[in-house]
Amino acid sequence: MAVTYVCGDDGQNAELADLGVQVAPVRGQEIGKAGAFAAATAGLYSAKAAKVLRNVIKQVDGEGVVYHLHNWSKILSPSIFHVLNPVSERLLVSTHDYFLACPNGGYFNFKKKSPCELTPLSGACLATDCDRRSYLQKIWRVVRSVALRGLIDLSRKNATILAVHDGMVDHLVRGGINPDSIKVLRNPVTPWSDTRIAVENNRKFLFVGRLDHDKGAELLAQAARDAGSPIQMIGDGPLRSQLEQSFPEAELLGWQSRKQVARIARDARVVVMPTASRETFGLVAFEALTSGIPVIISRFAATSDEIVRREIGFSCDPYDARGLAELMKMMAVGDNRLRDMSERAWEARGSLAHSPESWGERLMAIYADANRAAAPANRIVAVHGT
């Protein structure tokens, strides 16, 4: 299929060029990196993004053209919904976060460090200071949510909303999205290993991700120390130097290629993901599980109930280092129990997530369904923040 790729950045990508993808760059800047006034205005309505997308639609729209929107909140702004509204019956929106439904994007009260169960944009929501930064930032996000809802009506069954995990659906519906328009398409996962990793013979706990507070990196380092458990941490971020200084016993391995991560994972007993907010999917957890590695995951994650129910991992409070330490102590012993968890994860790998191939097949079927009233889908206009 022909692909036109509308992106928020400069669009420089050799691999896309080699594939013959037509790239339409907005050449924008992330909200957080722009000045206060520019961020406030362009974040609400980016005229530049609207113009680029409108020109693309004029050039390529017709029978057989389907639109697929991914991340929009950091560069593209709600303006793209204004432009996409006339073709919304052929529009798919992948929800990698909750910004379609919730002003702060996470259904999470960052001040109280707890999940939010309020109805988005209700009186109680408007009165709640839940944003990471400030109440003023919350009000700006509320204005943006109101603008989005004014530019496209997601309460009607026009656009197809693709949730990346079943656990997201109820939250999207609570945010006013028509339940009949929601389909679940789990993210594609490539395991780290094509054979089960014998975790019962390993001793090291593993973290893969950005070294920052939101990912729970500092809390995990403290919990590993309290548990007396060896911890390897793959990744980089603002906490790296602090972790190196405060936790010299932790192995901080920095950024690693996918091949290197797979090699390191062969020595892992458990993968730990104590993300301090709601996470919609958590690719690392499923890369681990489909390789036979049990996980400890934040109880706030959309996937935690499934992982606990299948008995292939445990959930933790990502604000309780002592509780996480106790959980790590428990998983550091009992090799037979851990082997059973590993084998269950390995046997369930086909139902835990799509392979890239099965994901592609399912996505093509969804494209065809979105275009059922016209000719077969023959071009995809992919719209993504970067």
At 362 the pLDDT is 94
Query: What is residue 274's three-state secondary structure?
Result: coil
At 37 the pLDDT is 75
At 30 the pLDDT is 82
Q: Which two tokens stand for residue 308?
A: 């606990």
Residues of the chain with pLDDT under 70: 32, 34, 372-375
In the chain, where the domains are located: 2-188+355-384, 199-352
CATH of the domain spanning 199-352: 3.40.50.2000
Chain centre to alpha carbon of residue 98: 10
Q: Which two tokens stand for residue 265?
A: 């994972």
* Residue 149, C-beta contacts closer than 8 angstroms, at least 6 positions apart: 121, 176
User: Which regions of 171-236 does DSSP assign to beta strands (E)?
Assistant: 182-184, 204-208, 231-234
Helix (H) / strand (E) containing 122: none
Handedness of CA 337, 342, 345, 350 (dihedral sign): negative
Long-range contacts of 139-142, Cβ-Cβ distance < 8 Å, separation of 24 or more: 140/40, 140/43, 140/44, 141/103, 141/104, 141/105, 142/103
At 231 the pLDDT is 98
Helix (H) / strand (E) containing 20: none
Whether the CB-CB separation of 374 and 65 falls below 8 Å is answered with no
CATH architecture of the domain 2-188+355-384 equals 3-Layer(aba) Sandwich (3.40)
Torsion of CA 333, 339, 345, 349, to 10 degrees: 140
The Cα-based distances of 112 to 109, 215, 314 in angstroms read 5, 17, 23
Question: Is-same-fold flag (2-188+355-384; 199-352)?
Answer: yes
Q: Which two tokens stand for residue 203?
A: 């001793």
Summarised one tens digit per residue, pLDDT across range 156-201 is 888 999 999 999 999 999 999 999 999 999 999 999 999 999 999 9
